[in-house]
């Protein structure tokens, strides 16, 4: 299975730029996800790869085959790209059995009848649907129809599999199960896969690497660990997981200890955070702090060496079963935190390790 290379992709609709200079490489056999809020350009990118949309400029290649080149203009039609496509709507033909639905793309490719049967049964077996091959789509649950759509996407051994929000019509529990089998199916088939979702949990759990999109631009490409632990921008930090973004100002030049002091908000609270390159004393900054990295403590002296202690007021505490979620105020800043235990007091200490703080120069804009 070849790699997919997308370079300098640009696309506008009626003068509105939707994709600005998108570029990424998906390695052979890799599960690669385009993640971002609704409307950021994920489906448009996937459609350009599929050949359903035409970019204004850029290049798209799979292996040594050029699918699109803006200069000189080259466009390979969708049917000649040999890609597997699965969309949110399953798009199965209602008047055809499951097996016949899968036969269609094979007939288009002039595959013989005996070979068709072998390929269809093999694909249905991979998604555990072989026993339902002679049913009609309306006789299947949503989850089963989605599996059939997937089997149809792989039945003709496409070079690359393109999936656009394929699980979002399933209810939460089925989606969790579908994630597990989708991942094992992709591993088993070993097919290069580009997956589109707005769901960060889905992206984190399925992907080898994730490209985070916002407003038609790539913010960061990395493994789930890289994206979560070292988000490139406050916007990425805010979009992945639950991250407090605290406005502040760098208080002093970076010290030898590798930390800097940041004044938070306007009420004189301070945090010592691990420094990042390019921050200067007096500069405005944003501190990213994940909810689950804040330890709540009744006593401030529970803090170890070098650990920040902030005094917070509890505004609200909700019980979610697995944990308690706290809405807090520190000076004029609002924070969200989590704890496995219930703290009764109205005032509480927040213990925060400098290495758990993400420091970004400049003010933040709210995440999409
Ligand atoms: P996503 O899949 O990330 O939700 P899309 O790629 O579908 O986003 O859309 C990106 C932007 O492009 C949106 O603002 C959308 O309204 C616009 N858009 C998408 N397709 C068309 C189209 N055919 N004509 C005009 N605008 C479009
Ligand atoms: Mg979309």
Domain ranges (residues) in the chain: 4-234, 242-361
Architecture of domain 4-234: 3-Layer(aba) Sandwich (3.40)
Least Cα distance to 317 among 329, 333, 303 occurs for 329
Tens-of-pLDDT digits for all 368 residues of the chain? 579 999 999 999 999 999 999 999 999 999 999 999 999 999 999 999 999 999 999 999 999 999 999 988 899 999 899 999 998 887 899 999 999 999 999 999 999 999 999 999 999 999 899 999 999 999 999 889 999 999 999 999 898 999 999 998 888 888 888 898 899 999 988 999 999 999 999 999 999 999 999 999 999 999 999 999 999 999 999 999 899 999 999 987 666 678 899 999 877 889 999 877 777 888 999 999 999 999 999 988 877 888 999 999 999 999 999 899 999 999 889 999 999 999 888 999 999 999 999 999 887 554 43
Output phi, psi for 296, to 5 deg. Answer: -90, 135
Peptide bond into 72 cis (omega under 30): yes
Whole-number pLDDT of residue 367: 43
For the stretch 207-236, what's the b/e string if a residue is b when 16 or more beta carbons lie within 10 angstroms of its beta carbon? Answer: bebbbbbbebebbbbbebeebbeebbbbbb
Whole-number pLDDT of residue 143: 87
Distance CA 98, CA 4 (A): 30
Q: In Å, what is the CA distance from 253 to each residue of 257, 258, 275?
A: 11, 10, 10
Report how far Cα 362 is from the mean position of its chain's Cα atoms: 25
- Dihedral angle over CA of 17, 231, 174, 195, nearest 10: 40
Whole-number pLDDT of residue 23: 97
Answer yes or no: is the C-beta of 318 below 6 A from any ligand 1 atom: no
- In sequence order, what DSSP letters do the residues of 85-129 get, joined into one string? EE-SS----TTS-HHHHHHHHHHHTT--HHHHHHHHHHHHHHTT-
Task: Name the one residue in this structure whose structure tokens are 């490409």.
Answer: 221
**Long-range interactions of 14-21: CB distance < 8 A, separation 24+:** 17/216, 18/44, 18/216, 19/44, 19/45, 19/48, 19/55, 19/216, 20/216, 20/217, 21/217
Q: Which fold has domain 242-361?
A: OB fold (Dihydrolipoamide Acetyltransferase, E2P) (2.40.50)
Q: Full-prediction pTM beyond 0.85?
A: yes
| Per-residue pLDDT reduced to its tens digit, 7-37 | 999 999 999 999 999 999 999 999 999 999 9
- In sequence order, what DSSP letters do the residues of 260-271 get, joined into one string? EEEEETTTTEEE
Q: Which residues neighbour 90 within 8 Å (Cβ) at sequence distance 6 or greater?
A: 137, 145, 146, 148, 149, 169
Structure tokens belonging to residue 275: 């420094």
Residue 76 C-alpha to ligand 2 middle, in angstroms? 23
| Per-residue pLDDT reduced to its tens digit, 279-330 | 788 899 999 999 999 999 998 887 788 899 999 999 999 999 989 999 999 9
Answer yes or no: is the C-beta of 41 below 6 A from any ligand 1 atom: yes
Listed in sequence order, the DSSP H helices in the chain are: 42-50, 98-108, 113-126, 142-154, 172-189, 200-206, 224-229, 234-239
Atom nearest to 37 CA in ligand 1: 3
Q: Which residue's CA is the closest to the ligand 1 atom numbered 21?
A: 13
Do 70 and 58 touch, CB atoms closer than 8 A? yes
Residue 69, exposed/middle/buried by CB under 10 A (0-12, 13-18, 19+)?
middle
Answer yes or no: is the C-beta of 40 below 6 A from any ligand 1 atom: yes
Whole-number pLDDT of residue 254: 64
**Mutation to probe ligand 1, out of 10, 12, 13 (largest number of atoms < 8 A from CB):** 13
């Amino acid at each position: 299975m070849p790699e997919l290379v997308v370079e300098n992709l640009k696309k506008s609709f009626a003068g509105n730029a939707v994709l600005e200079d998108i570029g990424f490489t998906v390695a052979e056999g890799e599960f690669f996800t385009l993640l971002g809020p609704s409307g950021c350009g994920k489906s448009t990118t996937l459609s350009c790869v599929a050949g359903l949309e035409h970019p204004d400029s850029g290049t798209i290649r799979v292996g040594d085959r050029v699918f699109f080149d803006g200069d000189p203009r080259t466009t390979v039609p969708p049917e000649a790209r040999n890609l597997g496509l699965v969309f949110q709507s399953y798009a199965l033909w209602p008047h055809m059995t499951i097996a016949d639905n899968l036969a269609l793309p094979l007939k288009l490719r002039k595959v013989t009848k005996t070979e068709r049967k072998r390929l269809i049964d093999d694909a249905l077996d991979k998604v555990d649907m072989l026993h339902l091959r002679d049913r009609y789509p309306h006789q299947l649950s949503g989850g089963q129809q989605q599996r059939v759509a997937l089997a149809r996407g792989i039945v003709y051994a496409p070079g690359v599999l393109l999936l656009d929000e394929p699980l979002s019509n399933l209810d939460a529990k089925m989606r969790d199960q579908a994630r597990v089998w989708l991942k094992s199916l992709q591993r088993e088939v070993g097919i290069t896969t580009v997956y589109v979702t707005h769901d960060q949990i889905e992206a984190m759990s399925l992907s080898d690497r994730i490209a985070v999109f916002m407003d038609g631009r790539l913010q960061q490409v990395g493994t789930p660990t890289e994206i979560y632990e070292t988000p490139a921008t406050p916007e990425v930090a805010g979009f992945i997981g639950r991250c407090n973004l605290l406005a502040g100002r760098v208080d002093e030049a970076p010290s030898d200890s590798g930390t800097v002091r940041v004044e938070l908000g306007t009420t004189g609270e301070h945090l010592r955070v691990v420094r990042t390159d390019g921050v200067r004393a007096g500069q405005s900054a944003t501190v990213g702090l994940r909810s689950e990295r804040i330890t709540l403590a009744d006593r401030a002296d529970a803090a170890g060496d070098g650990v920040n202690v902030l005094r917070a007021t509890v505004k609200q505490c909700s019980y979610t079963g697995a944990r308690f979620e706290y809405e807090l105020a520190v000076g004029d800043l609002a924070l969200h935190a989590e704890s496995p235990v219930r703290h009764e007091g109205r005032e509480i200490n927040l213990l925060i390790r400098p290495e758990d703080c993400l420091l970004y120069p400049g003010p933040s804009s709210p995440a999409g």
